[in-house]
Chains A and B, each alone.
Chain A
Amino acid sequence: MPKLPKLPAPPMPAALREPPPRPGDPNGKKGPLDEAMEAGITVVDWVDERTSLSGAGRWLMFRKVPKGTNWFYTLGSATMFAFLSQAVTGVFLAMYYRPDPSGGAYESIRYVTNEVFLGQFVRGMHKWGSSVMVILVFLHMGRTFFFGAYKYPRELNWVIGVVLLILTMTMSFTGYLLPFDQRAYWATIVGVNINGTGPLVGPYLSDFLRGGSEFGATTLSRFYAIHMLLVPGLLAALIGAHLYLVAKLGTTAPPWQKAEAPKELREAEV
């Protein structure tokens, strides 16, 4: 195989650069630790030669974040973390859940809550995690609004964010029915009826949610599919797009942060 020309690596921050070997070191000898490190580097190189992912990784991780960003700027990643927590706890709940309105759904949740090891704990995390996620979404949106961070050139990211807000609300609405207790059932009936009062599409939307004109057996499996497959997939994809745009356009600086022009450009001194 002909030798491929090597591209120059993008710059790394000084703190992360490996120091060159000192002249006094016995660099001929290699311990098992060195060999393990070598093996790791070889594997990463092998993958990188075929995917060229390291450039993207460096672009994502070593991009600069402007001066003055503070704790308010962690709300977005905290929201994503809450989503990941919901995804993980949701997978464990799905291992036990049966979308069967004639008693199976309620019985499976009762079983998770009362019998399964740590079942009540995981269900509690999923239940309260949804509240935490909704609160974080609103806080993140408040930060974006008051800091004017939705303005040029980040308009599209705001629009994606609003879609993510609606999807989060859809998740909590569809998830509310799944335990199939009294509270879940009656709140969902009223919720679906509220949808039905909407102009034009309202009645069709209600029929779609119920899976017919009556609240019946298909309604629960429909809510289950929306809650488990449709909306989480959309959420994950749009979170990816949201993050890509953040990395592409850069994190906003706080609005009161003013850049000092470089010396050579200052008018008084020219």
Chain B
Amino acid sequence: MNKQQKEEYLREYALLKAKGKPFFPYAVAKDGAMACVVMVVIIAMSLILGAELGSKANPTTTTYVPRPEWYFFFLFEVLRVIKPPSLVPLATIGVPTLAMILLFLLPFYDRGPERRPERRPIATLTGIAVIGAMAFLTYQGANAGSPTAIETPTPPRILHAGGALLSEYEAGKKAVAQSGCLACHKIGENGNSGPGPNLTKIADRLPRQAIARTLVNPTAPMPSFKNLPPAKFNQIVTFLAQSK
């Protein structure tokens, strides 16, 4: 906006304001009515939906799949959609930070004098697209599966070996399924493909010690599993080290 446009706006606004009504009581009455609606909605939600309390936090648990509050689902989903590990920081911090900077600086790069939504199609369409994308990602995030079972067949070489290895492998398969790994990793046909890498053939890429190290000291956002009971931890490592 150049100086002339600024002055034009201020003059126009002064005329509109002079014709307006005082804030009290006209706008205050509307705001008060809206405040009552908000209060009724909050009370109704509290009465109908209640406030459930889950079981107590337990750092050694192996059966919990973390879920954020619903309005963070879209971020959660961005994280799930962007798969390659090198791009994960981009998904976790890059995209949200960029969006925030663009939001902050909006009045400094959109400086045109036009305010009517139908006469600034780029801004209006971008706004609608962003809202649509956030709604879509929230919906996808809300419906993302949190499976707790792995149905891959046990390979014949392990069935053949039998004994301790077979029982360790089967226990590990169960422990992996119940430890929330499938929220971010795919194993065979089970689980979500991202943000974590596919674990179906993880043993081809990582030796047993490297898998154990990763579980203890993982790349964020994966939580560390070092608080698991040692037996369970070893079962998980065995299962993953045999996944090839």
Query: Which single member of B42, B53, B57, B222 contacts A85 (CB below 8 Å)?
Result: B42
Q: A196-B220, A198-B92, A259-B16 are in contact. Are A65 and B26 (CB under 8 A)?
A: yes
For A129, the chain B residues whose CB sits under 8 A away are 42
B114 touches A148 (CB 8 A): yes
For B133, the chain A residues whose CB sits under 8 A away are none
Query: Which single member of A65, A186, A196 contacts B64 (CB below 8 Å)?
Result: A186
Q: A125-B46, A193-B221, A196-B220 are in contact. Are A151 and B68 (CB under 8 A)?
A: no
B38 touches A78 (CB 8 A): yes
Those 9 A-B pairs whose CB atoms lie nearest each other, nearest first: A124-B46, A148-B115, A185-B57, A186-B66, A259-B15, A155-B107, A181-B54, A255-B115, A128-B45
B38 touches A256 (CB 8 A): no
A106 touches B51 (CB 8 A): no
The reply on B158 being an interface residue by CB < 8 A is no
Q: A120-B51, A189-B223 are in contact. Are A147 and B117 (CB under 8 A)?
A: yes
Known: A194-B92, A259-B13. 19 other contacts (CB 8 A): A62-B23, A64-B18, A78-B37, A128-B49, A148-B117, A151-B115, A152-B107, A165-B103, A181-B54, A182-B54, A182-B61, A182-B64, A183-B64, A185-B58, A193-B223, A197-B89, A197-B93, A250-B17, A255-B116
Within 8 A of A (CB), among B186-244: 219-223
For A199, the chain B residues whose CB sits under 8 A away are 89, 93
The reply on A224 being an interface residue by CB < 8 A is no
The reply on A74 being an interface residue by CB < 8 A is yes
A62–B22 Cα distance when bound, in Å, is 5
The reply on B160 being an interface residue by CB < 8 A is no
Query: Which single member of B61, B71, B97, B106 contacts A131 (CB below 8 Å)?
Result: B71
B107 touches A189 (CB 8 A): no
Query: Which single member of A110, A147, A190, A202 contacts B66 (CB below 8 Å)?
Result: A190
The reply on B88 being an interface residue by CB < 8 A is yes
Return A7 CB to nearest CB of chain B, in Å. Answer: 21
A104–B174 Cα distance when bound, in Å, is 33
A183–B180 Cα distance when bound, in Å, is 12
A176 touches B69 (CB 8 A): yes
A113 touches B53 (CB 8 A): yes
The reply on B162 being an interface residue by CB < 8 A is no
For A185, the chain B residues whose CB sits under 8 A away are 57-59
Return A70 CB to nearest CB of chain B, in Å. Answer: 9
A146–B118 Cα distance when bound, in Å, is 9
A109 touches B89 (CB 8 A): no
A159 touches B104 (CB 8 A): yes
Interface centre among B65, B127, B221 (most CB of A within 10 A): B221
The reply on B143 being an interface residue by CB < 8 A is no
A65 touches B21 (CB 8 A): yes
B55 touches A182 (CB 8 A): yes
B92 touches A146 (CB 8 A): no
For A120, the chain B residues whose CB sits under 8 A away are 50-51
Return B117 CB to nearest CB of chain A, in Å. Answer: 5
B42 touches A63 (CB 8 A): no
B107 touches A123 (CB 8 A): no
